[in-house]
Amino acid sequence: MRVLSVGVAAAISVMAVGAGAQDWEQSLPKKPFSAEYVVTVSGQAMQGMPTMKVATSERALRVDFGAHVAIVQLRPGMAQVSTLMVNDKTYTVQSLPYDSEDLEAYLFMLTPPGGYEAACEEEAVSCEKVGVEDVAGRQAEHWKVEDPTEGMMDSWIDSELGILLMATGGDGSGIEARNISTAASPGSLFKVPGDYTLEGGEAW
């Protein structure tokens, strides 16, 4: 599911291709966090777009889109994604390689393995660290990214957690983290509830 605009998707496109589970484990925040992400247009929340609720734990993350929830477990060679359909209490399970575009949509808030500089060098994308600024009450590294096909964008990465706090694209679209917390989330958030029914094996 791609809920991000072309401009914001440029941030995701610089993620290192072919990264493995160990690489993505290093990209997970050193401490658990949770936040809400809002897609914006010219600084205002985009109408009709869900607020994405994100939480991480050791080797796992959860992205809640409202109508469906993705629970991503990091595995050797593949990430296992359980997609919960909230309305009818069913779920599917799929294994996705770490260079999958489908997986990128669920890892959008994580810094690329090795950081922006390494990812930009590998992907032949121009990156410039502008400085350190305050975003949502937290210190953040401000990066300017220029992708030959996607265009210009700015992103702000939390200096402590290494997560995306905000990104804005040349088309005026963006994404912004709100209600950030470093309190541990319950382990049950990263498990499929017992009253959900598996449908279709590993098919979507």
Task: Let me know: does 12 contact 162? Beta carbons within 8 Å.
Answer: no
Q: Is the pLDDT of residue 15 over 50?
A: no
Q: 97 vs 66, 73, 183, CA distance in Å?
A: 25, 12, 30
Global confidence as pTM: 0.81
Strand 173-181 relative to strand 68-74, pairing: unpaired
Q: What is the mean pLDDT of the chain?
A: 81
Q: Is the pLDDT of residue 153 over 50?
A: yes
Strand 173-181 relative to strand 34-41, pairing: antiparallel
The residue with tokens 């090795």 is 114
Domains of the chain in start order, with CATH, are 6-187 (2.50.20.10)
Residues 6+ apart with CB under 8 A from 106: 61, 63, 70, 72, 81
- Higher-pLDDT residue of 45 and 70 is 70
Give the pLDDT band of residue 100 (cuts 50, 70, 90).
confident
Give the pLDDT band of residue 147 (cuts 50, 70, 90).
confident
